[in-house]
């Protein structure tokens, strides 16, 4: 038997456990959202705390004096802090990742740990249409804000059109409006900065200058008209996305 034919059952078992845990996490947080809505919580912070604390058992939600225990804002970071130092995280190769469901995506996303650049490349590799299909029900709680922060931090020249495609695909996922309303102030700021940078690449005055060039250069009419049309379409899409994401540019 060749080495490539040997099945790594240990790795398969780990992936299965990760996928099951991702499914349980999604269902748990989804149930917590509905509970919070039915309880008519008084503020967004209270709503978010209920969802973030959904993984705790009832007895864990009180301290030794019986008072409600404050939950950390970033529970994922808190869990990682208590992770065993011997826990080995093997970073996957981007070419190997082809998630087709929320559980598969969550598994692969976690495997990149704190590598924003790798996560950025993953979002661009998948593209808007694939992300829309993966998150057709909804983007998992907290992920939309993380996506926006990473896209804002890592955006580089030449990626603008692909990033707009990613934003467009995410805007067509289930419960998108609710997820936007739950963005933190830091995530909202990252969203603003992202659209500001995209707007710099597709300014309105560029369209008029291209139209002028088309009129004065008859020999290049067909080529210039195509460029102007593409730029205009992207600019229209960008403005529509700014409205969907609540960006006040």
Rounded to whole angstroms, how far apart are CA atoms 204 and 190? 22
Which tens digit of pLDDT belongs to each residue from 145-186? Answer: 999 999 999 999 999 999 999 999 999 999 999 999 999 999
Residue 62 φ/ψ, nearest 5 degrees: -125, 150
Q: Verify that 129 and 242 share a domain, yes or no.
A: yes
**Residue 89 pLDDT > 50, yes or no?**
no
Q: Are 238 and 164 in contact (CB under 8 A)?
A: yes
Residue 193 lies in a domain: yes
For residue 60, give its domain range: 8-88
Q: For 137, which DSSP code?
A: S
Q: What was the pLDDT predicted at 240?
A: 94
**Residue 78 pLDDT > 70, yes or no?**
no
Tokens of 152: 């804002």
How far, in whole angstroms, is CA 233 from its chain's centroid? Answer: 24
In 3-state terms, what secondary structure has residue 68?
A: strand
Residue 2 lies in a domain: no
In 3-state terms, what secondary structure has residue 87?
A: coil
201 vs 220, more confident: 201
Q: Verify that 145 and 225 share a domain, yes or no.
A: yes
Residue 176 lies in a domain: yes
Q: What was the pLDDT predicted at 209?
A: 42
Residues 6+ apart with CB under 8 A from 130: 169
Q: CA–CA distance from 227 to each of 86, 138, 209 (Å)?
A: 54, 35, 12
Q: 79-88, 96-105, 156-165: which has the highest mean pLDDT?
A: 156-165
Number of structural domains found in the chain: 2
């Amino acid at each position: 038997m060749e080495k490539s034919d040997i099945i790594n059952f240990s790795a398969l078992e780990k992936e299965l456990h990760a996928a099951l845990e991702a499914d349980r996490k999604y269902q748990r947080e989804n149930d917590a959202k509905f509970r919070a809505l039915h309880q008519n919580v008084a503020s967004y912070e209270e709503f978010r705390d209920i969802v973030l604390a959904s993984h705790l058992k009832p007895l864990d939600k009180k301290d030794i004096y019986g008072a409600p225990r404050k939950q950390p804002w970033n529970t994922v970071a808190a869990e990682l802090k208590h992770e065993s130092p011997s826990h080995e995280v093997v970073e996957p190769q981007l070419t190997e990742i082809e998630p087709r469901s929320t559980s598969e995506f969550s598994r692969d996303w976690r495997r990149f740990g704190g590598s924003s650049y790798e996560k950025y490349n993953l979002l661009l590799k998948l593209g808007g249409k694939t992300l829309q299909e993966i998150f057709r029900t909804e983007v998992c709680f907290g992920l939309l804000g993380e996506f926006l922060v990473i896209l804002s931090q890592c955006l580089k020249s030449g990626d603008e059109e692909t990033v707009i495609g990613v934003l467009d695909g995410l805007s067509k996922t289930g419960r998108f409006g609710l997820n936007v309303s739950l963005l933190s102030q830091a995530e909202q700021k990252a969203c603003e900065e992202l659209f500001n940078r995209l707007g710099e690449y597709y300014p309105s005055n560029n369209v008029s200058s291209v139209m002028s060039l088309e009129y004065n250069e008859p020999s290049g009419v067909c080529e210039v008209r195509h460029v102007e049309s593409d730029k205009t379409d992207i600019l229209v899409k960008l403005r529509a996305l700014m409205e969907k994401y609540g960006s006040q540019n």
